[in-house]
Amino acid sequence: MRTKDLAKFIGARESLRLKKERYPSRDSWTTDQILATYRFCNVHREDDKVTRYIAATWREPLKNEPDLWFAMVIARLFNLPSTLAMLSPLPFKPELMRSQLHALRKHQPIFNGAYIVSTNGKAMDKVDYLVTHVLGPLWAARKTLRPKIGDTLAEYHAKLMKFDGLGSFMAAQVVADLKYMPPLKFADDWWTWAASGPGSRRGLNRVCEHQLDEPWREPQWLMMLTQLRAQVLPLLGVELHAQDLQNCLCEFDKYERVRLGEGRPKQLYRHHA
């Protein structure tokens, strides 16, 4: 197991974040040329730029709304502050949102390239698809989709996935936002649940020294993630819930691809990012 290598990567990435916030000179942040050159998500998802924006401008102001969950779906489907700044998520007004988005994209991108949002095989405009086939049905079912006291993260994730446009990855992003607010803030599996993605499955294979493309069944992946978390936390000195560790595995995979000459991340690091 390459537990120490993963812990070293996590520690270096968190150290870079702290130095970036404390010191203006980029030269003093890190001597690791991979971390200095490419953009990596933070160790704690809550520290990421877009998550901070969503938390400050949507999640916190709407914290008393029963359909905060719906706003978080919209936030993560577009995932771009310049787009979200132009939208009013609650109550849902489909035709207004449709017209706002069509007008906005004439002048600027409206989606964040970090997340892939498709029309799931439907030959139609992406905005129209999201408003009609994703957001519309979710809003119609809003009374049954409001998180309840006693819900686990796993249960709520499964509930979201029953709807078109919310696969495991996107549903998990919504859960990751909602878990910081009641009632999911009190979920029994708050620290221990996560859903895998392609990057975190590859990352776990690297840590376990498996073949890179070795498949995982989801229960097996989560069990191994739980074991890894127990091993890596004593090496870090910081607390990590399972979803943050899942994300770190994805970033570790990106780092290793560069280090081993297997490929490069999509985005270079920008000082203003």
Q: What is the DSSP string of the chain?
A: --HHHHHHHHHHHHHHHHHHHH-S-GGGT-S-HHHHHB----SSGGGSHHHHHHIIIIITTTTT-TTHHHHHHHHHHH--HHHHTT---SS--HHHHHHHHHHHTTTS--S-TTS----TT--S-HHHHIIIIIIHHHHHTHHHHS--TT--HHHHHHHHTTSTT--HHHHHHHHHHHTTSTTGGG-TTTTT-----HHHHHHHHHHHT--TT----HHHHHHHHHHHHHHHHHHHSS---HHHHHHHHHHHHHHHHHHTTS---S-B--TT-
Instruction: Confirm whether 219 is domain-assigned.
Output: yes
Domain end, chosen from 170, 186, 202, is at 186
Instruction: Confirm whether 197 is domain-assigned.
Output: yes
- Is the domain of 203 the same as that of 94? no
Domain end, chosen from 134, 166, 186, is at 186
Distances 171 to 124, 141, 209 between C-alpha atoms, Å:
23, 16, 29
- Is the domain of 100 the same as that of 125? yes
Domain residues for the domain of 71 are: 50-186
pLDDT on residue 273: 39
Task: Say how many C-beta atoms besides its own lie within 10 A of residue 94's C-beta.
Answer: 14
- Please count the structural domains in the chain: 2
- Is the domain of 13 the same as that of 30? yes
Instruction: Confirm whether 266 is domain-assigned.
Output: no
- Is the domain of 221 the same as that of 182? no
Quote the CA–CA distance of 208 and 170 in Å, as a whole number. 26
Quote the CA–CA distance of 266 and 114 in Å, as a whole number. 9
194: amino acid identity, one letter: A
Instruction: Confirm whether 268 is domain-assigned.
Output: no
Chain centroid offset of residue 63 CA: 19
Domain end, chosen from 186, 209, 232, is at 186
Instruction: Confirm whether 245 is domain-assigned.
Output: yes
- Is the domain of 54 the same as that of 41? no
Cis bond before residue 183 (omega within 30° of 0) = yes
- Is the domain of 120 the same as that of 240? no
Instruction: Confirm whether 143 is domain-assigned.
Output: yes
- Is the domain of 56 the same as that of 113? yes
What is the model's pTM? Answer: 0.93
What would you report as the CA-atom Rg of the chain, rounded to the nearest whole angstrom? 19
- Is the domain of 63 the same as that of 174? yes
Helices 68-78 and 168-178 sit at what angle, rounded to 10 degrees? Answer: 130
- Is the domain of 76 the same as that of 146? yes
Instruction: Confirm whether 106 is domain-assigned.
Output: yes
Helices 198-208 and 242-259 sit at what angle, rounded to 10 degrees? Answer: 70
- Is the domain of 11 the same as that of 75? no
Q: What is the pLDDT along the chain (273 residues), one digit of tens a residue?
A: 999 999 999 999 999 999 988 877 666 788 889 998 999 999 999 999 999 999 999 999 999 999 999 999 999 999 999 999 999 999 999 999 999 999 999 999 999 987 888 888 888 999 999 999 999 999 999 999 999 999 999 999 999 999 999 999 999 999 999 999 999 999 999 999 999 999 999 999 999 999 999 999 999 999 999 999 999 999 998 899 999 999 999 999 999 999 999 998 777 766 543
Instruction: Confirm whether 273 is domain-assigned.
Output: no
pLDDT on residue 272: 42
Distances 214 to 116, 198, 243, 245, 262 between C-alpha atoms, Å:
23, 11, 21, 19, 17
- Is the domain of 130 the same as that of 104? yes
- Is the domain of 125 the same as that of 227? no
Chain centroid offset of residue 41 CA: 9
